[in-house]
Amino acid sequence: MPVSRRLSPELDVLAVQYPGRQDRLHEPCVEDIGTLADRLVPELLPLADRPLALFGHSMGAAVAFETVRRMEERGVAPAILFVSSRPSPSSIRDECLHRSGDRAIIAEMQRLNGTAAGILEDPAFLDMILPALRGDYKAVETYRCRPPHAAVDCSVVALMGDDDPQAPHEECLRWKEHTRGRFDLHVFEGGHFYLNTHAESVMSIIAERIRQ
């Protein structure tokens, strides 16, 4: 909602809601990046008669990248892809947090400082969000870009926090290898959820790049 308020009426803002959370809480989680992209493409194709930009944060950046790839394969060319707090598709890590116990996942969320500490101590809240969190970690940790150095035609804008353990500078910089268009990298002070404190700057970058 804050993004929609900030960018309207110049831009229409649509949110992607994954299964397994909020108003889709009772739907099974999707634990595969490619499947999420496959489901998203039919929802976006009817909007392809106007300039279209995608923004993805963390796991969403990988989903957005794979979605753009699939749309370009269908002859639809999004104008620009914004990827936030996510290493490039060719940056592979051997991680398996999704196989760990609940406490390990909670500890990781605390380390990334993206959720209020008190909420993570609420058993009812944890029961509600842990299946989705585990599914997200499985999707991210098992994702492999095929081919490894696949590239999109549209421009890519990468955004990151300078103290993000999940998305170090050198791995975010490698997004430039995954576009045949223009590439830009914006670095902000902060960690994985830098955009919570730099929302206005992030939205200004989005608006200005789409205008260009």
Query: What are the tens digits of pLDDT across the range 23-78?
Result: 998 999 999 999 999 999 999 999 989 999 999 999 999 999 999 999 999 999 99
Q: Is 146 exposed, middle or buried (0-12, 13-18, 19+ CB in 10 A)?
A: exposed
Give pLDDT, residue 60. 97
- Looking up tokens 């045949």 gives 180
Question: What is the residue type of 24?
Answer: R
Residue 155: beta bridge partners? Answer: 80
Look at residue 120 in the predicted model and tell me its pLDDT.
67
Collapsed DSSP state (helix, strand, coil) of residue 2: helix
On whether the pTM is more than 0.85, the answer is: yes
Pairwise pLDDT comparison (118 vs 152), residue with the higher score: 152
Q: Report in angstroms the alpha-carbon separations of 118 from 101, 114, 146.
A: 20, 12, 40
Q: What is the rounded average pLDDT for all residues in the chain?
A: 91
Per-residue pLDDT at 90 exceeds 60: yes
Kind and range of the H or E run holding 155: strand 155-161
Annotated catalytic residues are 58
- Segment 124-129 mean pLDDT: 78
Q: What is the pLDDT of residue 55?
A: 98
Distance CA 18, CA 58 (A): 14
